[in-house]
Amino acid sequence: MLCIREYDREHAVAYAQKWALSRNPLFENYTGIGGDCTNFVSQCVFAGCCQMNFTETFGWYYVSPQNRAPGWTGVPYFFNFIINNQQEGPFADQIISRNALELGDIIQLGNRLNVWYHSLIVTGMEGSNILVSAHTEDSLNRSLRTYEYYRLRYIHILGARVEVENIDSCFEPLMNGEAIIFGG
């Protein structure tokens, strides 16, 4: 039976701030071969929930560059997974108001053709100014106002569905770039 684990926003943001300007050696770097933004955002979300979903094709997981779900690295696939997920792993709501955003939430940028092309994690707030961190064009606490986009969508992480209640067994090895521990 699945239970719901709270999303640890502090872990997600700490991970983002540590790895925004470098790469965790546990993960492939997709900069230059499609972009690393959603891979990085997925790592941050994983740091905050320590639960993957190993459903082939439509899940959200990373074992190696050759063994990963499209939802781990693809902007639209990440959105489809996290908004629709009813099984193990993180789940979220798309929200309309930027005022409802919290640290550790995700923002995706889109163009005029309704193509969603970039994922960012919220790592700070300065009044009404949202600060984000990202990969591909590596950024740490960059103002959202400095990005060019036609549309954006806000993804509010609600939690993760898990079988076991122990997040700390995953966080430290992940944070330190030592190991990926599955199933917390």
Q: What is the pLDDT of residues 71-99, one digit of tens each?
A: 999 999 999 999 999 999 999 999 999 99
Confirm whether 184 is domain-assigned. no
Q: Which domain holds residue 121?
A: 3-175
Confirm whether 64 is domain-assigned. yes
Q: What global pTM score does this model have?
A: 0.89
- List beta partners, residue 95: 154
Confirm whether 180 is domain-assigned. no
The mean per-residue pLDDT over the stretch 165-173 comes to: 69
Confirm whether 9 is domain-assigned. yes
Confirm whether 123 is domain-assigned. yes
Confirm whether 93 is domain-assigned. yes
Q: How many domains does the chain have?
A: 1
Confirm whether 41 is domain-assigned. yes
What does the mean pLDDT of the chain come to?
A: 93
One-letter amino acid identity for 2? L
Confirm whether 183 is domain-assigned. no
CA angle 150, 32, 82 (to 5 degrees): 55
